[in-house]
């Protein structure tokens, strides 16, 4: 399974592609960040994100897209930009009929580190270890995108297989 993980953000949108299956070694295919100029109007920035994500999907042809589920604790302004970028990510994937999954930050942290309360440094260290990289991807948005892809392979991929098996059993 090849998964494009997307850590949505209006200024830096982390992207990472991971290949693998449950119980097998994972492999990083590519990692990066789609950046936008904060001086531009929001609409132009969203178009930049859309074009960047389209290029990633076109180049890497993922089987699924995993996007971080947006939540807000305090800063509504920041969460608005993140939510807008998240929506663009979902539309770009849906337009190509690629399955989209949303994973919460704590779900991703628990999947890669064993603790839903892990900090960014712990997530980066575990992503580095799990993908056998020489160094943690920078910035943290890129490492978070890889963590999303890993989480989806381990949790979403398994969940998808369970759902397919249940559907096959029900149709018999």
Residues 136-146: tens digit of each pLDDT: 999 999 999 99
DSSP element (H, E) containing 103: strand 100-103
Question: Distance (Å, rounded) from C-alpha 76 to C-alpha 99?
Answer: 28
The DSSP output letter for 131 is: T
Query: What does R_g of the chain's alpha carbons equal in angstroms?
Result: 16
pLDDT confidence of residue 161: 61
**Mean pLDDT of all residues in 44-72:** 96
> pLDDT by residue (tens digit) across 102-132?
999 999 999 999 999 999 999 999 999 999 9
User: Any known ligand binding at 68?
Assistant: yes
DSSP letter (8 states) at residue 8: -
> Is there a cis peptide before residue 139, judged by omega within 30 degrees of 0?
yes
- Specify the pTM: 0.90
| Cβ-proximal residues to 69 (8 Å cutoff; 6+ apart), any chain | 86, 102, 103, 104, 105
Residue 166 has pLDDT above 70, yes or no: no
What is the homologous superfamily of the domain 2-170 according to CATH? Ribonuclease H-like superfamily/Ribonuclease H (3.30.420.10)
Averaged over 61-65, what is the pLDDT? 98
Determine how β-strand 64-68 pairs with β-strand 100-103. Answer: parallel
Q: Is the pLDDT of residue 153 over 60?
A: yes
Its sign, for the CA torsion 27, 132, 108, 57, is: negative
What gap in Å lies between CA 16 and CA 65, rounded to an integer? 10
To the question of whether residue 30 is assigned a binding role by annotation, the answer is: no
pLDDT in tens, 68-109: 998 766 677 789 999 999 999 999 999 999 999 999 999 999
Q: Where are the domains of the chain?
A: 2-170
Q: What is the largest CA-CA distance in the chain?
A: 58
Do the annotations mark residue 63 as ligand-binding? no
* Active site amino acids: 7, 68, 141
């Amino acid at each position: 399974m090849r998964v494009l993980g997307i850590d949505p953000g209006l200024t830096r949108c982390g992207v990472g592609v991971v290949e693998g299956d449950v119980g097998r070694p994972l492999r990083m295919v590519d990692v990066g960040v789609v950046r936008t100029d904060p001086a531009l109007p929001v609409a132009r920035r969203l178009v930049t994100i859309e074009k960047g994500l389209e290029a990633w999907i076109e180049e890497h042809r993922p089987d699924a897209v995993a996007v971080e589920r947006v939540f807000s604790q305090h800063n509504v302004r920041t969460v608005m930009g993140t939510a807008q970028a998240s929506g663009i990510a979902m539309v770009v994937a849906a337009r190509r009929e690629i399955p989209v999954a949303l994973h919460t930050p704590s779900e991703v942290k628990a999947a890669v580190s064993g603790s839903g309360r892990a900090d960014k440094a712990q997530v980066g260290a575990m992503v580095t270890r799990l993908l056998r990289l020489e160094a943690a991807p920078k910035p943290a948005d890129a490492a978070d995108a890889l963590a999303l892809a890993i989480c989806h392979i381990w949790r979403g991929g398994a969940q998808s297989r369970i759902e397919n098996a249940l559907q096959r059993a029900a149709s018999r």
